[in-house]
A and B are shown apart, each in its own frame.
Chain A
């Protein structure tokens, strides 16, 4: 069916749904979108079928917004499908952009995940041995389900991506901005991150920064947080310095350290390594034992440093067998 309306599709891969909610969060604006555009696919909100997309001409879609990481064969299949059918493919949110929270699964292995979930989960009935298989025969018929990949990929590991909208989830004003940009047709260079700043979060963070010397790391609940001072200077691990701004510094301003969902800045190839380098550099000690004691205050550092960017890091995953 021909239409002069903007043809768009939204899809969620391996995701929590937060990104879709973020789109809905645009509030009344979403109605303008609905007015200005035909939403051809949006599993969470409208009734569209893969078949309809497959039936399309290549490039029939103007815009495909993909949120979530690529964890299984279906995620990849739809990513490829949308890439083919859409003029623009936007990686929306941390998972599509960097791998996101699901990407933390790369710190362990597929086998461990499956055995934990299907063999050793306390909620399972005794002796259950059922493991999800791509194909399984049930009284004569064969059932197929998407195959569960060895690890999590970010979107551009499987298809070329035109734009990235970072955030977990992206701030709604940016969702709006992106959509308006597309409507207005004024788009930055392909491959760039849109709806975010080129500076670190600290640029927008209202907390007062001074020279940094850290003698002890605390979890946020361990101390009375000074509402005005830089969290890091108070010994609270904050990913702000290694994270793109654009979120409006919502976490730090509410006393919660930045987790880095907007991802690293241009020129930083590995967000976790950079955070490590920056934070350890300002440890206030020259005594190895004391230094060890101080970094004891940073448990599961890999988990924190790569919370949103494991699959986009240099090693992409744990290589332990």
Chain B
């Protein structure tokens, strides 16, 4: 059986989570690989959450917020816009491939877009293979 990546998705309550709900009410099907965690605003997403998800065995992490300028809290998503690029650079230094962490803007009306993003990310991660984190840490535990 082919490898099925597990993706943890952090979605802001007002745009992206509502968008994901819309995908549901519109019955737009997408890959079952994503596990959504709702936060009030993408600005609540501490980079620690992303790393924690990877450390706990996620193959990918998807971060979604309102489109720039449309934040329910007027500028929360700008914080996310500032945090993610440096986080991705740091994760690259820690050996995490770029595709594993993804930032997308999804509005409440973009159910289709959310579905497409999940499908696309799932496909890319299938090709990329499982996250190295678990294996490596397990390996360390085995033999120092």
Is B85 in contact with chain A by the CB < 8 A criterion?
yes
* Best-buried of B43, B86, B132, B133 by chain A (most CB within 10 Å): B86
B140 touches A150 (CB 8 A): yes
Please tell me if A22 contacts chain B, counting CB pairs below 8 Å: no
Q: Is the interface of B mostly helix, strand, loop or mixed?
A: helix
Quick one: CB contact mask for A198-211 with B, threshold 8 Å, 1 for yes? 00000000000000
| A85 at interface by CB-CB < 8 Å | no
Using CB atoms, name the residue of chain B closest to A305: B90
Range, interface on chain A: 35 or more
**B4-12, B34-42, B93-101: which lies at the A interface?**
B93-101
Bound Cα distance A314, B56 (Å): 9
CB <8 Å contact, A295 and B93: no
B47 at the interface (CB under 8 A from A): yes
Most B Cβ at <10 Å: residue of A73, A150, A319: A319
Task: Kindly list the 5 A-B residue pairs having the minimum CB-CB distance in the complex, ordered from nearest.
Answer: A320-B95, A302-B93, A273-B48, A319-B95, A318-B95
Please list the residues of chain B having a beta carbon within 8 angstroms of any beta carbon in chain A.
43, 46-48, 50-52, 54-55, 68, 75, 78-79, 81-83, 85-87, 89-90, 93-96, 131-133, 136-137, 139-140, 143-144
Instruction: Given contact pairs A277-B47, A318-B95, enumerate 17 new A-B contacts (beta carbons under 8 Å).
Output: A150-B139, A270-B52, A273-B50, A276-B83, A276-B86, A280-B86, A280-B87, A281-B83, A286-B75, A286-B81, A305-B90, A313-B51, A314-B54, A315-B54, A320-B132, A321-B95, A321-B132
Interface, chain A (partner B; CB < 8 A): 73, 76, 107, 149-151, 153, 269-270, 272-274, 276-277, 280-281, 283, 285-286, 288, 291-292, 295, 298, 300-303, 305, 313-321
